[in-house]
Amino acid sequence: MIRTRTTGLVTALMLLAGCYGDETATAYGAAGKTWVLEEIGGTAAAGRTTLLFPEPGTIAGETACNSYSASMTVPYPWFEAGPVATTRRACPADATASEQAYLASLQSMTLIEVLGDTLILTRDDDTSMIFKAGD
C-alpha cells in the first residue's frame, strides 16, 4: 500500500514538473521583443547591437557586423550564455573589436532582470549591460 502511494506521488510530481514549462527569461517578459543595447559598463553603446530571445533556451542578435546565437537555459533571474556562434562577415577593425567586447561581456553576465521595456544584465562586479525594447 505504501509503495503504491509513493509511486503515485512520484508520478504526480514528475507530471507536474513537465507541465511547469519554461523558467528562462523568455517566460518573464524577454520574449517577443528586440532588445537594443543602450549602455555597457556605464558607457553608451556604439552602433546598433541587439539581443533577442527567439525561443525558450536560446538567445540571438546582431552586432554592427555579424549575427550571433547561443543557448541560455538557466532559470530566471540567472543568465548564462552558452557558447556563442557568429557569422563570419568581413568587417572593419573597429566593428570587430566592438563586437568581440560585446560578446565577451555578454558571456560574463550572470543575472537578468526584465522591467517592462528595459532589460538589465549584470555580473558579480556590478558591471551591467542595459537594453531597451526597440523595433
Domain harbouring 107, CATH code: 2.40.128.270
- Is there a domain that residue 112 lies in? yes
Q: Note whether 105 and 81 are within 8 A (CB).
A: no
117 belongs to a structural domain = yes
For residue 94, being part of any structural domain is answered with yes
pLDDT 10s per residue in the chain (135 long)? 454 454 444 344 333 334 446 788 989 999 999 999 999 999 999 889 999 999 999 999 999 899 999 999 899 999 999 999 999 998 888 888 899 999 999 999 999 999 999 999 999 999 999 999 996
Domains in the chain, number: 1
4 part of a folded domain: no
In a domain, 13, yes or no: no
CA 14: distance to chain centroid?
27
Give this prediction's pTM: 0.82
13 sits in which H/E element? helix 2-20
**Domain membership flag for residue 16:** no
State the residue range of the domain holding 72: 22-134
Residue 26: inside a domain, yes or no? yes
Does residue 117 contact residue 16 with C-beta atoms inside 8 Å? Answer: no
Angstrom distances, CA of residue 18 to CA of 15, 21, 22: 5, 6, 10
Residue 81 belongs to a domain = yes
Yes or no: say if 53 and 59 are a contact pair by the CB < 8 Å rule: yes
